[in-house]
Amino acid sequence: MNHIRITTKLGSLNLDVQADFAHEVIVISGENGAGKTTLLRCLAGLEACQGQLQIAGDVWLDSAAGFVKPTEQRNIGFVWSDAVLLPWLDAQANITLGVKDGDAAWFNQVCEALEVSPLLKRKPAMLSTGEAQRVALARALYIKPSLLLLDEPFSAQAPDIRLRLRQALKDLQQTLDIPVLMVSHDAEDAKVLAQQHWRMREGKLMNSVASTKVFATDARR
């Protein structure tokens, strides 16, 4: 089980999130400014926060003990809304960057699932926004992270590709057996992917229920 008990204040936002979750896909929705991206940044160690954070039995934050695990030691894969790739490296080098012991079979599986195999020799300037986004997602998964954080990872994808990517992400998550926290405004992402659907408002988690229950309730309205 994974545990989040964190608070922080950034400008007018008071983030206060408490949740327990298994190794599952969680889709996070809410209005702009609700604190969704801030939550992901806190989990990644990119924003200072207080409380406790434990992922896969490993303590990442314990304010009472004065302990904060640095970002580079958290083994996190993350994809922000704007894909950030190193422009002087081709797609393959971007995906494998920083990995000491490569896994060719896993590399091929990830690249084929995310439809980036034909793009591996191209540099970022030669990629469309959607292609760059898929390369960034492949990089985040290739490292076999303990936690995958995604901020609108399909926003630049055409509808037909987005449909395939949902299934690909579900399959890869199950292979790795890791928790995935994904910010999305697309209800289909939650319907297809999520075991839990978190709704946020003004820095708070308003509800945390099984995604199927959320949409069953919505359908009766």
pLDDT of 76 higher than 50: yes
Domain residues for 110?
A: 2-220
CATH number at residue 105: 3.40.50.300
The pTM assigned to this predicted structure is: 0.91
The pLDDT assigned to 81 comes to 81
- Given a cut of 50, is residue 221 above it in pLDDT? no
Residue 79 contacts residue 151 (beta carbons within 8 Å): yes
Domain tally for the chain? 1
Contact between 200 and 184 (Cβ < 8 Å): no
Rg value, the chain, Cα = 17
Taking each helix axis as running N to C, give the angle between helix 129-142 and helix 159-176, from 0 to 180 degrees, rounded to the nearest 10.
0
